[in-house]
Amino acid sequence: MLSQKESKMNILVTGGAGYIGSHNVIALLDAGYNVIIFDNLELGHIETVETLKSIKSEGSVIDFVKGNLLLIQDIESVFSKHKIDAILHFAAYSQVAESVKEPQKYYYNNVLGTLNLLNVAMDYDVKKIVFSSTAATYGEPEYVPIDEKHPQNPINTYGKTKLMIENIMDDYDRAYGLKSVRLRYFNVAGADSQNRVGEWHNPETHLIPNILKSTSDTGKVFQMFGTDYDTKDGTCVRDYINVEDLANAHLLALKYLLDGGETNYFNLGTKEGSSVKEVFDMCEKVTGKKFPVKIQPRRAGDPAILIADNKKAKEILGWTPVRSLEKSIQTAYRWEQELSKRLAN
């Protein structure tokens, strides 16, 4: 439970109308923080904002500002209206394939947008930020599980933009005292346990929702890329972290900064790997349905195994993931059914 001082704090959440951002808004409200959502609604949804506003959390206040990080005046309007104590920064383009095809779009939006945010924040003496980074900053794994000492050599533009921002934050800390925590996610999965928010992308590129969409999209065939990897069953192995466990890590990272913690970075994963085939089988178990599947050749740039070493987050933040892959798929399936109803109305 927060102290009285902490509970009055205003936390700015950029990208709060999106998938991961919205779950963090709920976690912040439940923990007693006031939340200001800043989102341009290009990838987020106004329906998500309305859902978040309807959540009754004792003593917490929520506000929404539609704005763009590429427009300085939009950012300044938030800081001039609210006394911001810290920032959770999620707003970004995040599709790997698109980033390779349209690098200009990604550098401009992700890097310049973040620079604008940092510069305005410092003008208002806000120097604490939790940043949504990614395991894509590591590139091709030299060893697994991947710890934070692993070299960062991203192989796509998305990962490069996130690494560039991490480097900027280091420079800003040395020069201006900006304190940041960078959380490097592995594969995020699942939805809110109360089925209020969940994954809502268009197009959807993530494995689990794409499998689950086969339950409501007759004729949709799941594409399985590569069954000849050097893994337990020939398919790629990934580390799936539940989105509510992820949100809890952000709360702990925020508390770490508010308690005077230095700039730091942490992997967020389970240290357990699940193959594409295992995920597929678990989706069939949870739904009780059989999905049509078509085996395709490997996709270029897909490493065989990506698993996180999460020891550092456990030791310093006191964070431990507790929700299983099955739990993530159960909540994702309930959300997929809810989303289908909403979109049909």
Q: Which residues are catalytic?
A: 158
Note whether 158 and 96 are within 8 A (CB).
yes
C-beta neighbour count of 96 within 10 angstroms: 17
Note whether 109 and 159 are within 8 A (CB).
no
C-beta neighbour count of 301 within 10 angstroms: 12
Sheet holding 62-66, edge to edge: 62-66, 34-39, 10-14, 86-89, 128-134, 179-185, 264-268
CB-hemisphere CA count at 13 Å for 248?
Answer: 16
Of 102, 234, 213, 215, nearest to 161 by C-alpha is 102
- Helix, strand, or coil (residue 224): strand
Residue 66: exposure state from Cβ atoms within 10 A (0-12, 13-18, ≥19): middle
